[in-house]
């Protein structure tokens, strides 16, 4: 039949007139249609069987070719040193390596014996590790602990970056202890460690028995808040903190009630907002920050979430060591900021960041008087970050830059506004103010701006002014906000290479402010 079969055409079908219509065939017509299709269905089955046969033949030939081509493949000929560098570049950049066979570095051991040998003999691949306590428990603890030990042994002699996570430290207390016991023999190589909701007793005992000469960073993530004050001091007095930068993420930041002279770098972070009304992240009052500085006399850097408070201060506080102070706030009023700053004398302070996490809130803004006092009591400030209203830019920025901070090298400015937009075209005032020669003595090397999405020609013109004037500006980062318009074309990024070749590093990040859509469903539960 195949020799006489002629490929059909829809236009030649005896049913052509009723195809693609709403015609409902009778029983007799249905029988005619089935009879008409029978030879075509037979031919289709023959063709599909032939294709399947050819596919099998093709796969056999391809398998034969691939097996031989593998001998000549370029990766096979890569020197081990190059292969090692490629492996290292495959490691995660934002977190420690995870014990997952589908991810680097474990993945490299599953490709071939040569890759496995190269991977296992490359310490750089194994010097970071993230450990899930619950995962080790449900995958036979002894085997998991042996795998952890093997992993860290391969990293020798490199310093280690470790992180431990546990969704419920109380339910898995013994297993958390087991993981810590597994990590303890490698403590002499700890460089950075992050403990997620570690049991307090475990942490206290851990600090007493470990030798950590290389430790530089300790991060405590306390999702359920830190314990009562007596136990808080047991945490912060740990030997682990004597040589390390301390970062605490908690619902309820700790208050140091005893001497904290061993602390040099301290960071408190807020947990992300949650829909649970019973879970509210707490900030520190200005009075608490004052006491913290008073009790931690060797503190070099401090980052804290701050809240409004009218705490009375009775005497000035001179802190001899603090070099960096960052205060951030989500949306609370900060009328006490001026009073707090007026009582501080920080002679070694070089970095002051005042970060408003809610750009529509004007209240978290330092007055000109507060900045003047800050500059008077901290004359070495070279790194300044502020969020300012439009009017503030026009009226006071020149004074702030020209009279208060003569050593300024890095400036970060964000515009806040009273309406829903994150930034408005006060950016023109910033560009005019920061143009070369406008502010006497201003010699910035780095500039970061968060502004509305103005015309690209405006900020490009600003950059060329600095290039043509031969200023010392070497890096600028722009965060450009615009409203989300569905019919608006994506902006075409201008070429930035001409600036880079002239010594100015430029980066641009565009952010979209969502537009609230009007809907008849407002107030109706779906």
- Cβ(137)–Cβ(166) below 8 Å: no
Summarize pLDDT for 192-214 with one digit per residue, the tens.
999 887 666 666 666 667 788 89
Bridge partners of residue 268, in order along the sequence: 248
Asked whether residue 256 carries a pLDDT value surpassing 50, the answer given is yes
Cα–Cα distance between 261 and 324 in angstroms, integer? 17
If DSSP codes are grouped into helix, strand and coil, which group holds residue 17?
Answer: helix
Give the containing element (helix H, strand E) for 247: strand 245-250
More confident residue, 109 or 74: 109
Lowest mean pLDDT among 18-27, 41-50, 214-223, 307-316: 307-316
DSSP assignment, residue 306? B
Mean pLDDT is highest, among 20-34, 169-183, 191-205, 442-456, for 20-34
CA angle 115, 117, 118 (to 5 degrees): 65
* High-pLDDT (> 70) share of the chain, %: 76
Cα distance between residue 262 and residue 268, in whole Å: 17
User: What would the DSSP string read from start to end of 22-56?
Assistant: -----HHHHHHHHHHHHHHHHHHHHHHHHHHHHHH
Domain ranges of the chain: 1-8+26-72, 127-273, 382-516
Helix/strand/coil for 449? strand
pLDDT recorded at residue 62: 96
Mean pLDDT of the chain: 81
Percentage with pLDDT > 90 across the chain: 38
Tens-digit pLDDT profile for residues 478-493:
888 766 554 555 555 6
Of residues 413, 391, 415, 389, the one with CA closest to residue 401: 413
Q: E-strand spans in 145-223?
A: 160-165, 190-196, 217-222
Strand, helix or coil for residue 110 = helix
Distance (Å, whole) CA 182 – CA 203: 14
pLDDT tens by residue, 174-184:
787 888 889 98
Q: What is the DSSP letter of 238?
A: S
- For residue 131, the model assigns a pLDDT of 93
- Residue 119, SS3 per DSSP: helix
Residue 391's pLDDT is 63
Stretch 446-456: mean pLDDT: 78
pLDDT tens readout for residues 147-174: 999 999 999 999 999 999 887 666 566 7
Q: Give the pLDDT of residue 393.
A: 65
What the block records as the tokens of 244 is: 């390390």
Is the predicted pLDDT of residue 279 greater than 50, yes or no? Answer: no
Q: What is the enclosing helix (H) or strand (E) of 235?
A: helix 229-236
What's residue 525's pLDDT? 66
pLDDT above 50: residue 296 = yes
pLDDT of residue 425: 45
Query: Residue 420: its pLDDT value, please?
Result: 42
Mean pLDDT computed over 391-408: 82
Q: What are the φ and ψ backbone dihedral angles of 334, each rounded to 5 degrees? A: -130, 60
CA distance 229 to 238: 15
């Amino acid at each position: 039949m195949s020799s006489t079969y002629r490929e059909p055409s829809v236009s030649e079908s005896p049913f052509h007139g009723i195809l693609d219509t709403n015609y409902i065939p009778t029983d007799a017509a249905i029988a005619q249609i089935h009879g008409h299709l029978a030879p075509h269905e037979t031919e289709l089955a023959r063709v599909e069987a032939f294709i399947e046969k050819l596919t099998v033949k093709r796969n056999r030939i391809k398998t034969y070719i691939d097996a031989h081509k593998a001998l000549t493949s370029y990766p096979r000929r890569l020197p081990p040193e190059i292969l090692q560098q490629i492996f290292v570049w495959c490691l995660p950049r934002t977190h420690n390596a995870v014990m997952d066979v589908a991810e680097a570095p474990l993945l490299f051991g599953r490709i071939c014996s040569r890759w496995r040998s190269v991977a296992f003999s490359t310490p750089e691949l194994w010097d970071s590790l993230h450990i899930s306590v619950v995962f080790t428990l449900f995958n036979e603890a002894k085997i998991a602990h042996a795998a952890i030990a093997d992993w860290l042994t391969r990293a020798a002699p490199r310093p280690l970056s470790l992180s431990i996570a546990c969704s419920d430290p109380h339910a898995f207390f013994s297993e958390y202890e087991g993981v810590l016991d597994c990590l303890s023999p490698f403590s002499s190589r700890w460089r950075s460690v992050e403990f997620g909701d570690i049991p307090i007793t475990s942490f206290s005992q851990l600090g007493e028995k470990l030798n950590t000469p290389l430790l530089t960073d300790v991060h405590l993530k306390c999702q359920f808040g830190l314990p009562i004050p007596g136990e808080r001091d047991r945490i912060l007095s740990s030997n682990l903190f004597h040589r390390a930068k301390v970062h605490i993420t908690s619902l309820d930041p700790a208050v140091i009630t005893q001497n904290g002279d061993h602390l040099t770098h301290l960071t408190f972070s807020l947990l992300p907002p949650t829909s649970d009304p019973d879970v509210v992240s707490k900030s520190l009052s200005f009075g608490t920050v004052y006491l913290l500085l008073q009790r931690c006399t060797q503190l070099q850097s401090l980052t804290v979430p701050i809240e409004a408070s009218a705490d009375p201060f009775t005497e000035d506080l001179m802190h001899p060591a603090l070099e960096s102070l960052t205060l951030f706030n989500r949306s609370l009023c900060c009328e006490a900021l001026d009073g707090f700053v007026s009582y501080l004398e920080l002679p070694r302070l070089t970095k002051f960041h005042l970060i408003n996490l809610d750009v529509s809130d004007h209240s978290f803004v330092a007055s000109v008087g507060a900045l003047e006092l800050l500059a008077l009591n901290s004359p070495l400030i070279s790194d300044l970050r502020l969020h300012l209203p439009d009017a503030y830019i026009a009226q006071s920025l020149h004074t702030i830059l020209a009279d208060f901070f003569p050593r300024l090298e890095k400036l970060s400015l964000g515009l806040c506004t009273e309406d829903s937009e994150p930034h408005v075209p006060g950016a023109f005032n910033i560009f005019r103010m920061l143009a070369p020669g406008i502010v006497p003595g201003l010699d910035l090397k780095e500039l970061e701006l968060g502004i509305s999405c103005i015309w690209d020609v405006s900020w490009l013109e600003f950059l060329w002014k600095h290039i043509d004037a031969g200023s010392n500006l070497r890096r600028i980062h722009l965060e450009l906000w615009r409203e989300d318009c569905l019919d608006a074309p994506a902006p075409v990024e201008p070429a930035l290479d001409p600036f880079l070749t002239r010594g100015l590093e430029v980066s641009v990040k565009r952010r979209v402010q969502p537009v609230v859509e009007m809907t008849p469903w407002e107030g109706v539960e779906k």
